[in-house]
């Protein structure tokens, strides 16, 4: 199904771009936490590949793409090396990285949902794995640095846009309307929602009758 939507070369390039951006974000966090070079590499790998690795293990796509395709494994190493040597310069373009990260979020939630469906999962399970593909690496990253995962304290709606994109793909599949145009629509919708959330600091609703002015627990 994926190959019917995009030519293999374009699909591969998009995957590598998403992996690179996620790895860069992970490596930058490692620098801010004063991790050594090994920690920078580990956080880059986990952030970039964690979600896809979990998805492939669940659906039985073994060996996972992260290990079956050398470029998927090398790309986070390249990102880690760039951040290791040039992190002040990379930090200055952090806003641009956030934009690319939003694009990667849109791409991965869509491709994750589609791949899960290809392997026989139902639409709901496929959408859930699509979200996991997009945000799973970030959850593992946060756990490794001893922070509450951003997925659980979604201050700028990271998971919600991925859920919207994955749900759109599931709906299009059920309507037999998934094609290049509708796939692009799901990716762009996720991307725009994420950018708007960052711009206007949108967040998912708190518990019922919980005032936003109440201080959060550390």
Angle at 76 between CA 75 and CA 81, to 5 degrees: 100
Distance (Å, whole) CA 19 – CA 161: 18
What one-character DSSP code corresponds to residue 204?
Answer: -
Are 115 and 55 spatial neighbours (Cβ–Cβ below 8 Å)? Answer: yes
Residue 206 has pLDDT above 80, yes or no: no
Phi, psi (degrees; rounded to nearest 5) at 64:
-55, 155
pLDDT at 19: 92
Residue 2 has pLDDT above 80, yes or no: no
Are 191 and 145 spatial neighbours (Cβ–Cβ below 8 Å)? Answer: no
Q: In this predicted model, what pLDDT tens digit does every residue of 76-107 receive, in sequence order?
A: 999 999 999 988 887 777 777 788 788 889 98
pTM greater than 0.85? yes
Closest listed residue to residue 104, CA positions, set 126, 133, 75 = 133
Distance (Å, whole) CA 82 – CA 209: 46
pLDDT at 148: 84
Residue 62 has pLDDT above 80, yes or no: yes
* Residue predicted with more confidence, 214 or 61: 61
Determine whether 97 is exposed, middle or buried from the number of CB atoms within 10 Å of its CB (0-12, 13-18, 19+). middle
Angle at 97 between CA 192 and CA 129, to 5 degrees: 60
pLDDT at 122: 96
Q: In this predicted model, what pLDDT tens digit does every residue of 106-148 receive, in sequence order?
A: 989 999 999 999 999 999 999 999 999 999 998 999 999 998 8
Distance (Å, whole) CA 169 – CA 201: 26
> In the chain, where does DSSP find H-type helix?
2-5, 8-32, 37-59, 65-68, 70-92, 94-118, 123-144, 159-174, 180-200
């Amino acid at each position: 199904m994926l190959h019917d939507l995009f030519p293999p070369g374009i699909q591969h390039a998009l995957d590598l771009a998403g992996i690179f951006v996620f790895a860069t974000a992970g490596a930058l966090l490692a620098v801010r936490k004063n991790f050594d070079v090994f920690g920078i590499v580990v956080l880059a790998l986990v952030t970039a590949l964690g979600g896809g690795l979990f998805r492939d293990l669940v659906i039985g796509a073994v060996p996972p793409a992260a290990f079956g395709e050398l470029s998927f494994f090398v790309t986070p190493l390249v990102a880690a090396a760039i951040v290791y040597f040039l992190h002040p310069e990379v930090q200055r373009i952090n806003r641009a990285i956030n934009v690319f990260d939003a694009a990667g979020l849109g791409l991965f939630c869509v491709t994750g949902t589609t791949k899960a469906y290809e392997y026989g999962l139902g639409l709901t399970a496929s959408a859930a794995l699509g979200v996991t593909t997009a945000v799973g690496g970030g959850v593992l990253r946060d756990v490794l640095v001893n922070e509450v995962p951003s997925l659980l304290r979604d201050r700028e709606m990271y998971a919600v846009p991925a859920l919207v994109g994955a749900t759109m793909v599931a709906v299009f599949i059920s309507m037999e309307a998934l094609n290049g145009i509708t796939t692009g629509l799901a990716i762009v919708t996720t991307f725009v929602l994420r950018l708007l959330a960052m711009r206007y600091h949108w967040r998912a609703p708190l518990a019922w009758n919980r005032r936003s002015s109440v201080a959060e627990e550390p």
